[in-house]
Amino acid sequence: MEAVTGWWDDFFWGSLVVVELFIVAIFLTVLFGLIGAGAKLSGNPVAKSIANAYTIVFRGTPEILVLLLFYFGSAVALTAIAQVFDPEIKFVDIPPFWAGSLAIALIVGSYATETFRGAFLGVDPGQVEAARALGLSNLKTFMYVRIPAMWRLALPPFGNHMLSLIKDTALIAVIGLEETLFVAEQAIGTTGKPFTMYIVVGGIYLGFSTIITLSVMVLEKYANKHLEVAR
Amino acid sequence: MSLNCPLFDCDLIVESIPKMLEGIGLTIELLFESAVLGLTLAIILLLMRISGRWYLVAPTMVYIYIFRGTPILVQIFIIYHGLPQLDFVRESILWPIFREPYGCAIVALTLNTGAYVSEILRGGVLGVNRGLTEAAAALGLSVRQRFIYITAPIAIRLCLPAYSNDVISLMKSTALVSTITLLDMTGIARTIVAETYAPYEVFISLMFIYLILTWVIQRTFGVVEKRLSRHVRSEV
Amino acid sequence: MSENIIQLENVDKFFGDFQALKNITLSVKKGERIVVCGPSGSGKSTLIRCINRLEEHNNGTIVVNGHELTSAVKDIDAVRSEVGMVFQSFNLFPHLTIVKNLMLAPRLVRKASKAEAHETAMRYLERVKIPEQADKYPSQLSGGQQQRVAIARALCMNPKIMLFDEPTSALDPEMISEVLDVMTDLAQEGMTMIVVTHEMGFARKVADMVVFMDQGEIVESNTPDEFFDNPRNERTKDFLRQILTH
């Protein structure tokens, strides 16, 4: 384990990158999930077909393929565009951070679409009727009645989505993002101890998963506390 | 014969697809082997997990926690890049497996899917109505008999949807073996793209191939589910 | 003293801090029909579930058919194969046809051959008057039919004792009598029965003893006539008032 000394701060910075990725990706995931669920529930046939295509494509394609496609695809497009302006340019890419977070958010967003859709459908229609009968506008009903109810149902599966998300961040190393796996590779280069280094990476991710799982447990308790009291 | 497509290089698509399909054998082999081995492992883990004996339950829970809490890519790297660092691995009789990327891939995929599937099986077992096992107990069936004749058949049907999703995940995970030099479909695609700088044509066609595979898996499970559910209308 | 086929002495049962059974002493003779009644939470289900050890009692002794109920496994399976139980929610095995439901235990526990088990099964299906349903699945039968199948399933093991845990409480009213009829026939053939039920008509007609339980204790027990016409305890009177007038 002494081999790792000297590399701890690099791993730390790598972990920070993971955290940044995760935060960006969560926002995008929730966004895509809500848009997708909204489209599927909207009744508009065009929106529904697009949303269906979205979920089918992104749930059926390997994550690494989506990443490669996004990154190299965007690089090729950008490079072509840039070369129009300056033929000397060899390669322009979207930074792996953004290509990566967009890609994994789209992937997990397709699962989140189904989760949110199911959760919206699971909201007790009686509650919504009561809100309308009380005179709450559509928007207010949506914000104060539907969303809280939906969130409670969506939380457990969404916790799983978050776990998928944090684990998918590791894949972004494949397109060159300098996070923990990258640090590990450098460390292996100088220390010659791949097992040790990759175990450290594993440990970092295990730590993140644990934090997420515990946070979800706390959030679930909070979301359900009004039910606890009734017992 | 030259196709004239406006935006994409269709010739390249037509050329690449057969090349990538050369890798489909490997993809399916990996999927099948690790699915079968993983299921076996999952059943063993399940039995340990529900045994009630702490010395079996605790290690199982730790195992599942680790393998579901870390990225599969990292698990693959630990096994393929990492294990050769350890002397006792290089000197063991299992070394021939770990020396080859294929062996490492199978081990990693199996260990990973085993953890997930055992939890899925456990979900099925927990979903079996308690009254049914009580009725079996009241009739005098032993613990073992109850599990085999009552719990297992019902649990299997209950966890099929989740299990089919896991098989699809496993199929998607096989693409990761391209990172440890194996030439499955993704691996071949990457080499083509590296040569031709045409990510759209190659990767998008590959995507369609995977989507077809996904569809095949879903349909197969759909048929199995239908067959197993013919007696169900509503269960007490 | 004629043998008691079931003997409970000073039995306590706790669920955590909650005491479900308090110092229960009860004897049942062979061929006796006992009805146990009482408000919910009184411990009546717990009582009969202790007799076939679906629940484990904490204190006191329970002796069933000569076997004392302890944690030794051999005893439990042996006891259970001689004690039949019918549940409120039928608990028929959904993945097996009716006849297979009946054949399962005789084949696995008594090691009967397929032919023997099938013959026994059909015989009991005739007894409960639904032999034509043999190859259907439980989900295709009505509640009353399912419960009759459940009774037949228990009878296939030739039990010495039959326990009934609110057998008609989950049934639509029009199906209750078909099940009670089967139970009455069974009683008239001399089966030792303990029935937890609210069906007081059945109790009056069939029971040798009615036992009233409340809050984990046996409050009063008597012959049906005495019990219904001359209840002695205040709690018994309250209970009877509630269930007999609504």
Q: Judge: B141–C104 Cβ closer than 8 Å, yes or no.
A: yes
Task: Tell me how far apart the alpha carbons of residues B147 and B136 are, in angstroms, rounded to a whole number.
Answer: 10
**DSSP output for A179-207:** SHHHHHHHHHHHH--HHHHHHHHHHHHHH
* Domain ranges, residue A56: 20-178
Q: B70: which chain A residues are within 8 Å (Cβ-Cβ)?
A: 167, 202, 205-206, 209
CB contact under 8 A, C94 and B135: no
Taking the C-alpha atoms of residue A17 and residue A32, their distance in angstroms, rounded to an integer, is 22
**What is the pTM assigned to this prediction?**
0.87
Section A92-118 average pLDDT: 91
Q: Quote the minimal CA–CA distance from A141 to chain B in Å.
A: 34
C-alpha–C-alpha distance, residues A142 and A41, integer Å: 14
Domain count, chain A: 1
Contact call for B139 and C104, based on CB within 8 A: yes
User: What residues pair up with C13 in beta bridges, in sequence order?
Assistant: C21
Does residue A222 lie in a domain region?
A: no
CA distance C121 to C103: 6
Residue A49 lies in a domain: yes
Alpha carbons B154 and A4: distance in angstroms, whole number: 50
Least confident among A163-167, B93-97, C135-139: B93-97
Query: What residue in C sits closest to B138 (Cα-Cα)?
Result: C80
Phi, psi of C47 (to 5 degrees): -60, -55
Region A105-132: what's the mean pLDDT?
90
Q: What's the longest Cα–Cα distance across chain C? A: 55
Side chain identity at residue C90, one-letter code: F
What is the identity of the amino acid at A36?
G
First to last CA, chain A: 51
Measured over the CA atoms of residue C164, residue C169, residue C175 and residue C176, the dihedral's sign is positive
Q: How confident is the model at residue C45 (pLDDT cuts 50, 70, 90)?
A: very high
C63 CB neighbour count, 10 Å cutoff: 16
Task: List the subunits that have 3+ CB pairs under 8 angstroms with C.
Answer: B
Q: CB–CB of B157 and C81 under 8 A?
A: no
Q: Would you call B233 an interface residue with chain C, using a CB distance cutoff of 8 Å?
A: yes
| Per-residue model confidence as pLDDT tens digits over B186-207 | 999 999 888 888 888 889 999 9
Q: Is residue A227 part of a domain?
A: no
Quick check: is A174 in a domain? yes
Nearest to B82 among A60, A198, A209 (CB): A198
DSSP code for A169 = G
pLDDT band at A128 (very low <50, low <70, confident <90, very high): confident
CATH code assigned at A72: 1.10.3720.10
Res A132: pLDDT: 85
CB contact under 8 A, B172 and A209: no
- Select the residue from B74, B169, B204 to test the A interface by mutation, using most A Cβ atoms within 10 A: B74
Q: What pLDDT sits at residue B236?
A: 39
Chain B positions in Cβ-Cβ contact with residue C52 (cut-off 8 Å): 138
Inside any domain, residue A76: yes
Cβ–Cβ gap C104/B131 under 8 Å: no
Contact between chains at A61 and B207 (C-beta distance less than 8 A): yes
Q: What is the pLDDT of residue A223?
A: 78
Which of A16, C104, C70, A104 is CA-nearest to residue B148? C104
Task: Kindly list the residues from chain A whose CB atom is less than 8 angstroms away from the CB atom of residue B207.
Answer: 57, 61, 65, 69
Number of CB atoms found within 10 A of residue C129's CB: 15
- pLDDT tens, position by position, B34-91: 999 999 999 999 999 998 899 999 999 999 999 999 999 999 999 999 888 888 888 8
- How far B15 CA sits from the closest chain C CA (Å)? 51
Q: What is the pLDDT of residues B154-189, one digit of tens each?
A: 999 999 989 999 999 999 999 999 999 999 999 999
In a domain, A205, yes or no: no
Whether B153 and chain C come into contact, CB under 8 Å, resolves to yes
Residue C54 has pLDDT above 70, yes or no: yes
Classify residue A191: in a domain, yes or no.
Answer: no
Cα dihedral B152, B154, B155, B160 sign: positive
Instruction: Kindly determine whether residue B134 and residue C54, on different chains, have CB atoms separated by under 8 Å.
Output: yes
Tell me the β-bridge partners of B159. Answer: none
On the question of pLDDT at C2 being above 60, the answer is no
**Which residues in chain B have Cβ-Cβ distances shorter than 8 Å to A168?**
71
Write out chain B residues lying below 8 Å of A188, CB-based.
Answer: 81
Best to test chain C binding among B130, B139, B227, B233 (most C CBs inside 10 Å)? B139
Chains in touch with B (3+ beta-carbon pairs under 8 Å) read A, C
